[in-house]
């Protein structure tokens, strides 16, 4: 196990290096200037480039960046003057994490419930209805849903705040829902098919023969074995929530890392683009690693190699 | 309890705990009649509180209300003493002598002295600071050489002696009084800047304030903060509002919604033509002037068609500015009369400068057709294929290029083919700076309320704004005269601006399209707000709720 984890961590470092390199060189072909003021003369731009080290050859800039990165220095933002990238990300990450966690919990709880209801009512009206809902949930992107929710509950009905973060819990409801629908739909589908399998298995037949009723059967026997595949889903789900939240954060004016990522690209804020990409990549890989380890712990049939 | 039930309960507890910690103001409050507080929205995050490095209007709005300068522009548009007690200008216009008020203090209680002004001017000019606004110091003695790194900052023509500040200029600059009200030249305390080092201006606590309010609750990334009355401000007794709440609202529709719910005291309606149309008849609607113009730049360095004056003139004549403003912008902009924006400043004769200098841009389809045909013949390269570039960040931009493409193609028929190129703002900027365009839609937001902020743009090819790279000698002569021999003679200076506009029109070097204006839903019970077309556009020093 220890050996396995070590190996995975090494792979993670190499993958990160590839991500850093690819992002760094892709960024160079991104058109646009990193400076805001249109009134800069060519000599002023040359001077700014010198200050920021942008006049050096790209390869030199690349190694400079790598060396700083190894020292844990992600650089200073061009757009947010004087702000270090690690601070920008460090303060925004908890906001995105809270949003992601809320969405994950809501999504999985809803999914477990709907999945079980679907399986129990297999091929009945309720199953069909939930099937349509979950297909919609999977196919409609979270940012479209966010705008619909914003329009209906924010503008039309006026029940919930339309933007902001940090003042009240009510502000988090709409973005959480927008993000939770995807995971809920995926979980519903998985739980349904898994539970249908389980419900046809021998030990359930035995439990049924012993006289257990439907609800008891599901709660005490069927759920636990249907949960295992859900665990493997959580890793990719966290990934989807993080990347999905970039646009949702923008729509609701939430000061999370996603909003930062989205705005750094058109403004050509090189250090922030690099920093957020690295943090995203690292988080995704760590999530998947944790999921793999958890799966092995929960399901002894899985062997880590 | 089974294991999954425990997990479920645990998850619910986590959710409730995370949410509960934020549940303090469950449904928010309705603040539009709270007399101690005002509520405003910012269109984007604060980027920095570093006075020398701020480049965006949002950071500028916060800085301008929390920092003071020697002068502050009043409701009449004139710079009036703020931290200065008085100022005088020598008869040749080359020396500004400013007396500071006595007993001035920073928000931390320490003394604010003339040295803090000398430091702020030196810091912005210092190439090491890498300020994008260092060019604004140009005209002060030795500033250009210091900015270029050829002289030490101590050579700058800004000196302190006790409570007196002396500014020595290289040429008379009637607009200099506006610079003395500029946020980028607000005082900075050297010991504080040095102590904070790389953290300076990154949070509310990493800045000290000289203005009517001080910022609280900004941690560098959050979207809600407030400015509260600064009791150390010299004129604190006339600051009537204790707290002004700010929140970042990127979506203009959301801002309008919050205004209508009473949660904001002001919301812009010029975000899109549709939004303007939907709100322009609202009883709370008020317009303010904005020192911004939109014009076309013709690439006269690289494009053989656009080097031909007849073709440029034909394109200008085929532009119906009134229709463009009413159709493409839905009336949210006003048709341009000249390069200088409408309502920027009054000319010496009392007329609006843009009206006084207007060289008579007109729409004449037949003359345009004739000139275009002649031009195409002269160039002798066949049909004109041209790209029309704009940035996608301003919603009316796309409508503008759509309109122009349609107008030109219908006027000149198969002799022209216009390709639209719509790119992000920063790419448009880079394409403009590199001359990588045929025709580009440019916007200029003037720095101060004086014609020179517009006319300086084309007085050389290396100003950074002359992207079409044209050299118009009549224009250069007129602007040079305005900034030298006529600098201290307002009416002669206005006449020079007029000659400069005429020179631009005669050679059709640019094509002015429209002048910007601000239109806001504004709470009628909020009084004392000062708006300016340039510089600090929203000054809340004396704002209060009645």
Over the stretch B234-285, which tens digit does the pLDDT of each residue have?
Answer: 999 999 999 999 998 888 888 998 898 898 999 999 888 889 999 999 999 9
Q: Which residues of chain A neighbour B54 with C-beta distances below 8 Å? A: 81
Chain A residues with CB under 8 Å of B429 CB are: 32-33, 35, 38
Distance from CA of B465 to the nearest CA of A (A): 5
CA distance A178 to A157: 17
**How is B404-419 classified by DSSP, letter by letter?**
HHHHHHHHHGGGEEEE
Task: For Cα atoms B284, B285, B289, give the angle at the middle one, nearest 5 degrees.
Answer: 140
What's the pLDDT at B31?
Answer: 65
Coil, helix or strand for A38? coil
Q: What pLDDT score was predicted for residue B218?
A: 94
B6-61 pLDDT, tens digit each: 666 666 665 665 455 444 444 444 566 777 899 999 988 898 999 999 888 899 99
Band (pLDDT 50/70/90 cuts) for residue B5 is low
Distance from CA of B246 to the nearest CA of A (A): 11
What is the SS3 assignment for B166?
A: strand
**Under an 8 A CB cutoff, do B50 and A48 touch?**
no
Q: What pLDDT, on the 0 to 100 scale, is given for residue B14? A: 59
Instruction: Report chain B residues whose CB lies below 8 A from the CB of A260.
Output: 221
Contacts A–B by Cβ distance under 8 A? 195
Q: What is the pLDDT of residue B527?
A: 93
Closest residue in chain B to residue A150, using alpha carbons only: B254
Identify any residues that bridge with B520 across adjacent strands, giving them in sequence order.
Answer: B268, B286
* A80 vs B3, B48, B148: nearest CB: B48
Q: What's the gap in Å between the CA of B26 and the closest CA on chain A?
A: 5
Q: Which residue of B has its CA nearest to A46?
A: B148
Q: Identify which of A42, A165, A251 has the shortest CB distance to residue B223.
A: A165
Mean pLDDT of A289-303: 74
Q: Which of B302, B145, A114 is nearest to B154 (CA)?
A: B145
Please state the rounded mean pLDDT for residues A221-241. 76
Q: What mean pLDDT do residues A136-151 have?
A: 87
Which of A74-83, A201-210, B19-28, B463-472 shows the lowest mean pLDDT across its residues? B19-28
**Which chain B residues are closer than 8 Å to A38 by Cβ?**
429, 432, 442-444, 464-465
Q: Smallest CA–CA separation between B255 and chain A, in Å? A: 9
CA angle, B480 as apex, B477 and B482 as ends, to 5°? 110
Q: Which helix (H) or strand (E) holds B521?
A: strand B510-522
Cα distance between residue B17 and residue B21, in whole Å = 6
Closest partner CB to B464 (pick from A40, A112, A224): A40
Q: How far, in Å, CA of B5 to CA of B12, rounded?
A: 11
Tens of pLDDT, residues B450-509: 999 999 999 988 888 899 999 999 999 999 999 989 988 999 999 999 999 999 999 999
Calculate how close chain B gets to A57, using CA atoms only, in Å. 19
pLDDT for the residue A127: 86
Tokens of B375: 């031009």
CA distance B162 to B51: 24
In chain B, the percentage of residues whose pLDDT exceeds 90 is 74
Cα separation of B505 and A302, whole Å? 78
Test mutation, B48, B219, B220, B222, chain A, max A CBs within 10 A: B220
Distance from CA of A10 to the nearest CA of B (A): 32
Task: Confirm if A98 and A91 have CB atoms less than 8 A apart.
Answer: no
Q: Indicate the residue of A41, A105, A164 with minimum beta-carbon distance to B464.
A: A41
Q: Which tokens in the block code for residue A132?
A: 């349509």
Q: Is A105 close to B15, i.e. CB distance below 8 A? A: yes
CA distance A127 to chain B (A): 23
DSSP code of B458? Answer: G
Rounded to two decimals, the pTM is 0.84
Q: What is the dihedral of CA A37, A38, A39, A42, to 10 degrees?
A: 100
* Closest-approach residue (CA) in chain B for A160: B27
Of A68, A81, A215, which to mutate for an interface test with B (greatest number of B Cβ within 10 Å)? A81
* Contact state of A167 with B462 under an 8 Å Cβ cutoff: no
Q: Among positive and negative, which fits the CA dihedral A179, A181, A182, A184?
A: positive
| Residues of chain A neighbouring B436 (CB-CB closer than 8 A) | none
Q: How many other β-carbons are positioned within 10 Å of the β-carbon of residue B93? A: 15
Residue A232: is its pLDDT beyond 50? yes
Which chain B residues are Cβ-neighbours of A253 within 8 angstroms? 223, 247-251, 254
The residue among B113, B118, B104, B119 whose CA lies nearest residue B230 is: B104
Q: Cβ contact (<8 Å) for B433 and A45? A: yes
Nearest Cβ partner for B4 among A35, A227, A254 = A227
Q: Measured between CA atoms, how close is B469 to chain A, in angstroms?
A: 12
- pLDDT, tens digit, for every residue of B367-415? 999 999 999 999 999 999 999 999 887 778 899 999 999 999 999 999 9
- Beta carbons within 8 Å of A162's beta carbon, 6+ residues apart: A150, A154, A155, A174, A252, B254, B257, B258
The single-letter DSSP state of residue A32 is: S
Structure tokens at B172: 């008379």
Residues in chain B within 8 Å Cβ distance of A158:
261
Q: What is the pLDDT of residues B72-107, one digit of tens each?
A: 999 888 999 999 999 999 999 999 999 999 999 999
Question: For residue B241, what are its two tokens?
Answer: 């509002």
Judge: A32–B201 Cβ closer than 8 Å, yes or no: no
Q: Which helix (H) or strand (E) holds B530?
A: strand B530-531
DSSP letter (8 states) at residue B218: -
Judge whether B310 and B378 are in contact, CB under 8 Å: yes
User: What residue of B is the nearest CA neighbor of A87?
Assistant: B220
**Are B153 and B122 within 8 A, CB to CB?**
yes
- Cβ separation B134–A44 shorter than 8 A: yes
Q: Which of A27, A29, A44 to mutate: most B Cβ within 10 Å?
A: A44
Q: What share of chain A is helix, strand, coil (3-state, %, to 5)?
A: 75, 0, 25
Q: Is the Cβ–Cβ distance between A154 and B253 less than 8 Å?
A: no
Strand partners, B227: B215, B244
Chain A residue at shortest CA distance from B461: A41
User: Smallest Cα–Cα separation from A222: which of A231, A235, A213?
Assistant: A213
The pLDDT assigned to B24 comes to 40
- At B269-325, the pLDDT tens digits run 988 888 999 999 999 999 998 999 999 999 999 999 999 999 999 999 999 999 999
**B426/A76 touch (CB, cutoff 8 Å), yes or no:** no
């Amino acid at each position: 196990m220890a050996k396995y984890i070590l190996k995975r961590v090494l792979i993670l470092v190499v993958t990160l290096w590839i991500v850093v390199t690819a992002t760094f060189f892709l960024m160079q072909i991104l058109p646009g200037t990193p400076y805001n003021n249109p009134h800069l003369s060519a000599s002023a731009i040359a001077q700014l480039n010198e200050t920021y080290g942008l006049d050096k050859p790209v390869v030199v800039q690349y190694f400079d960046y790598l060396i700083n990165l190894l020292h844990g220095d992600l650089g200073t933002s061009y757009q947010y003057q004087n702000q270090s990238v690690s601070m920008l990300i460090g303060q925004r990450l908890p906001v995105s994490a809270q949003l992601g966690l809320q969405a994950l919990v809501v999504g999985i709880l809803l999914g477990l419930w709907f999945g079980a209801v679907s399986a129990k009512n297999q091929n009945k009206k309720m199953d069909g209805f939930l099937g349509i809902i979950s297909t919609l949930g999977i196919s409609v992107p979270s940012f479209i849903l966010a705008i619909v929710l914003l329009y209906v509950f924010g503008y039309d009905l006026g029940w919930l705040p339309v933007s902001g973060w940090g003042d009240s819990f009510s502000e988090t409801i709409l973005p959480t829902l927008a993000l939770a629908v995807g995971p809920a739909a995926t979980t519903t589908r998985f739980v349904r098919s898994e539970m249908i399998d389980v419900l046809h298995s021998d030990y359930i037949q035995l439990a049924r023969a012993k006289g257990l009723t439907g609800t008891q059967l599901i709660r005490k026997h069927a759920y636990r074995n249907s949960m295992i595949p859900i665990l493997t889903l959580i890793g990719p789900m966290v990934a989807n929530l993080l990347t999905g939240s970039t646009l949702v954060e923008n729509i609701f004016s939430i000061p999370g890392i996603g909003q930062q990522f989205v705005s750094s690209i058109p403004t050509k804020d090189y250090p922030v683009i690099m920093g957020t990409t690295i943090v995203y990549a690292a988080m995704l890989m760590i999530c998947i690693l944790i999921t793999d380890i958890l799966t092995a712990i929960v399901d002894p049939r899985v062997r880590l190699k | 309890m089974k294991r999954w039930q425990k997990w479920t309960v645990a998850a619910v507890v986590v959710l409730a705990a995370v949410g509960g910690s934020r549940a303090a103001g469950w449904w928010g409050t309705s603040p539009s009649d709270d007399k101690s507080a005002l509520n405003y929205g910012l269109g984007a995050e604060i980027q920095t509180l570093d006075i020398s490095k701020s480049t965006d209007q949002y950071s500028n709005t916060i800085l301008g209300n929390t920092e003071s300068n020697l002068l502050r522009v009043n409701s009449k548009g004139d710079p009036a003493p703020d931290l200065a007690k008085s100022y005088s200008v020598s008869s040749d216009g080359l020396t500004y002598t400013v007396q500071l008020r006595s007993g001035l203090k920073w928000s931390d209680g320490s003394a604010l002295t003339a040295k803090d002004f000398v430091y702020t001017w030196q810091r912005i000019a210092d190439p090491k600071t890498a300020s994008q606004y260092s060019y604004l110091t140009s005209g002060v003695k030795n500033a250009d050489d210091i900015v270029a790194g050829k002289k030490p900052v101590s050579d700058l023509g800004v000196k302190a002696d006790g409570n007196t500040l002396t500014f020595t200029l290289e040429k008379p600059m009637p607009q200099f009084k506006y610079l003395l009200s500029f946020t980028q030249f607000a005082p900075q305390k050297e010991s504080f800047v040095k102590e904070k080092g790389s953290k300076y201006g990154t949070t509310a606590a990493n800045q000290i304030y000289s203005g009517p309010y001080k910022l609280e609750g900004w941690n560098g990334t959050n979207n809600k903060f407030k400015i509260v009355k600064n009791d150390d401000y010299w004129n604190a007794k006339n600051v009537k509002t204790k707290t002004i709440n700010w929140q970042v609202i990127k979506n203009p529709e959301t801002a309008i919604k919050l205004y209508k719910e009473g949660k904001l005291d002001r919301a812009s309606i010029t975000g899109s033509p549709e939004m303007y149309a939907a709100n322009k008849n609202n009883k709370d609607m008020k317009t303010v002037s904005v020192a911004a113009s939109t014009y076309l730049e013709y690439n006269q360095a690289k494009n053989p068609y656009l080097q031909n004056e007849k073709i440029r003139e034909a394109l200008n004549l085929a532009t119906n500015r009134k229709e463009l403003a009413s159709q493409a912008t839905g009336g949210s902009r006003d048709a341009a009369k000249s390069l200088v924006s409408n309502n920027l400043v009054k000319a010496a004769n009392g007329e609006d400068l843009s009206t006084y200098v207007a060289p008579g841009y007109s729409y004449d389809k037949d003359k345009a057709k004739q000139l275009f045909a002649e031009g195409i013949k002269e160039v002798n390269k066949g049909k004109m294929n041209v790209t029309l570039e704009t940035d996608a960040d301003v919603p009316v931009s796309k409508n503008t290029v759509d309109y122009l493409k349609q107008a030109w193609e219908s006027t000149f028929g198969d002799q022209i083919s216009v390709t639209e190129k719509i790119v992000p703002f920063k790419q448009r900027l880079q394409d403009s700076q590199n001359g990588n365009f045929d025709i580009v839609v440019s916007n200029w937001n003037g720095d101060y309320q004086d014609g020179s902020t517009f006319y300086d743009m084309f007085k050389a090819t290396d100003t950074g704004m002359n992207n079409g790279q044209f050299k118009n000698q009549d224009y250069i002569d007129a602007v040079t005269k305005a900034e030298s021999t006529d600098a201290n003679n307002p009416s002669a200076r206005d006449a020079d601006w007029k000659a400069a506009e005429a020179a631009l029109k005669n050679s059709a070097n640019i094509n002015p399209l429209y002048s910007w204006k601000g239109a806001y839903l504004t709470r009628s019970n909020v009084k004392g707000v000062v708006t300016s077309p340039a510089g600090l556009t929203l000054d809340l020093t004396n704002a209060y709720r009645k």
